[in-house]
């Protein structure tokens, strides 16, 4: 039984929505089952599901941090947009055919990083396509050059997909590749490339890279080497509720084993430049909020759930903070993958703007570093949100 009491009304709401047994488990801190998670997804009572996730978020945060929402001052770098793979949901794939492939030199990477360094960023999130011209030595050179020139910047880089590709390219084990990258300056790993672990969805989407067990194996090895990492799930590519729940359960199982995941990030597919829209269902705002809420409730061993504003858009990301998310990602100076597929969110939100978005949602903005050390608790206090949650939710769902 938790020392944190349920906010007034949740128990009654849960009875009305038939979720009382799940609410009791959440309150008791018991692990939810696959069936529980499927019922939460199937429930029409989004308010109750969100309230349960908000409760779980506060308890996971710990005493004194219940209203903390984290962000980081960072930028994204994509050193190459050429990829040998052709995942059908990815408009970033094989742009060579469209005449706009690029591969940056180490100096170009440093020049781009310099723009962020001038703004005082403390993290670079670096991922790119699978490009035979970008071998292990190329990335070691980038990491070493970054460490020499910008030692204050943490390099969070290389999805499990890129690690698998580099291992195959070089004829090395995943561990050997990771060790060399760590030696050169790798600080942690992002969570991209998980997509949906279900094999049938992957086959329909022509995903040939990194099956779920390999993704988990690589993250497990990274955790064993002392690296923290994140995990993702991509929706809107023809997945079912069961596929999403099973995906999260595989992540939960790996986290039980290796413990190095920091944050789970639900992502949605953007369709511009792809040919899959007619055969998949685009997630609604309600679906996206459920992904946040159910992940908070099911992934009881993940400390953080992210509302990735560059994908969700600002308003939905703000609401997601009341559905279990406690991180809004970063100020993000440069991002190409999502914008290649049509995301219309602004490319850069200043720190002040990020803090305002969090405080006007009723939460305390906290600037963090990559591994969630607190850099500063913002002076802006959480503001009282006078609009009832039911009205805020209706406004978002009506769009």
> Across the chain, where does the E strand assignment appear?
68-72, 74-77, 123-126, 154-157, 229-235, 261-268, 304-305, 327-330, 364-368, 374-377
CB of 130 to ligand SF4, least distance (A): 5
Q: CA-to-CA distance for 355 and 51, rounded, in angstroms?
A: 23
Q: How far is the CB of 365 from ligand SF4 (least distance, A)?
A: 32
- Measured CA to CA in angstroms, residue 55 lies from 5, 50, 325, 373 at distances of 9, 9, 11, 23
Nearer to ligand SF4, 209 or 223 (CB): 209
Element (H, E) at 27: helix 20-28
Q: Rounded to the nearest whole angstrom, what is the least distance from the CB of residue 296 to ligand SF4 in the complex?
A: 26
Q: Shortest approach of ligand SF4 to residue 322 CB, angstroms?
A: 31
Contacts with ligand SF4 by CB under 6 A lie at 83, 85-87, 90, 92-93, 129-130, 161, 209
- Identify which of 325, 298, 288 has the alpha carbon closest to the alpha carbon of residue 40: 298
DSSP letters spanning 169-199: HHT--HHHHHHHHHHHT--BB--TT-----H
SS3 at position 73: coil
Whole-number minimum distance, CB 83 to ligand SF4, in Å? 3
Q: What's the rounded Cα separation, in Å, for the pair 71 and 365? A: 7
Nearer to ligand SF4, 209 or 244 (CB): 209
12 DSSP β-pair partners: none
Matching residue, tokens 């990771």: 178
Nearer to ligand SF4, 80 or 295 (CB): 80
Q: Based on the number of CB atoms within 10 Å of its own CB, is 120 exposed (0-12), middle (13-18) or buried (19 or more)?
A: exposed
Closest CA to 330 of 375, 394, 273, 296: 375
Tell the smallest beta-carbon distance from residue 298 to ligand SF4 (Å). Answer: 25
Looking up tokens 């991509």 gives 234
User: What 3-state class would DSSP assign to 70?
Assistant: strand
Which of residues 86 and 105 has its CB atom nearest to ligand SF4 in the complex? Answer: 86
**79 vs 129, which CB is nearer to ligand SF4?**
129
Query: Nearest distance from residue 259's CB to ligand SF4, in Å?
Result: 26
Residue 50 or 193 with smaller CB distance to ligand SF4: 193
Question: Given the complex with ligand SF4, which of 162 and 326 has the nearer CB atom?
Answer: 162
- Cβ closest to ligand SF4, residue 232 vs residue 322: 232
CA distance 75 to 116: 6
Q: Provide, rounded to whole angstroms, the least separation between the CB of residue 333 and ligand SF4.
A: 20
């Amino acid at each position: 039984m938790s020392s944190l009491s349920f906010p007034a009304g949740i128990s009654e709401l849960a009875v009305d929505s038939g979720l009382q047994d799940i609410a009791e488990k959440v309150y008791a801190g018991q692990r939810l089952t696959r069936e529980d998670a499927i019922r939460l997804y199937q429930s029409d009572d989004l308010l109750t599901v969100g309230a349960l996730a908000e409760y779980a978020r506060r308890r996971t945060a710990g005493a004194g941090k219940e209203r903390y929402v984290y962000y980081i001052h960072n930028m994204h770098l994509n050193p190459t947009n050429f990829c040998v793979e052709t995942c059908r949901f990815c408009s970033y794939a094989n742009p060579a055919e469209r005449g706009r492939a690029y591969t940056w030199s180490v100096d170009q990477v440093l020049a781009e990083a310099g723009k962020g360094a001038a703004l005082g960023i403390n993290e670079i999130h670096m991922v790119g396509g699978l490009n035979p011209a970008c071998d292990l030595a190329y990335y070691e050179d980038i990491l070493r050059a970054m460490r020499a020139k910008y030692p204050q910047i943490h390099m969070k880089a290389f999805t499990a997909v890129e690690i698998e590709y580099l291992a195959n390219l070089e004829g090395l084990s995943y561990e050997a590749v990771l060790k060399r990258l760590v030696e050169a300056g790798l600080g942690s790993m992002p969570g991209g490339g998980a997509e949906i672990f279900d094999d049938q969805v992957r086959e329909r989407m022509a995903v040939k890279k990194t099956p779920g067990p390999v993704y988990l194996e690589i993250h497990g090895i990274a955790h064993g080497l002392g690296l923290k990492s994140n995990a993702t799930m991509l929706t809107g590519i023809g997945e079912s509720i069961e596929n999403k729940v099973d995906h999260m359960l595989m992540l939960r199982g790996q986290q039980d084993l290796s413990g190095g995941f920091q944050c789970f990030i639900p992502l949605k597919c953007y369709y511009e430049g792809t040919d899959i829209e007619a055969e998949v269902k685009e997630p609604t705002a309600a679906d996206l909020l459920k992904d946040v809420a159910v992940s908070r409730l099911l992934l009881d061993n993940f400390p953080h759930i992210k509302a990735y504003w560059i994908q969700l858009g600002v308003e939905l990301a703000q609401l997601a903070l009341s559905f279990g998310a406690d991180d809004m990602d970063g100020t993000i100076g440069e991002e190409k993958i999502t914008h290649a597929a049509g995301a219309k969110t602004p490319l850069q939100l200043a720190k002040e703007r990020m803090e305002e978005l969090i405080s006007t949602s009723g939460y305390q903005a906290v600037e963090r570093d990559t591994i969630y050390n607190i850099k500063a608790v913002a002076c802006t206090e959480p503001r009282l949100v006078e609009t009832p949650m039911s009205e805020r939710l209706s406004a978002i769902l009506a769009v």
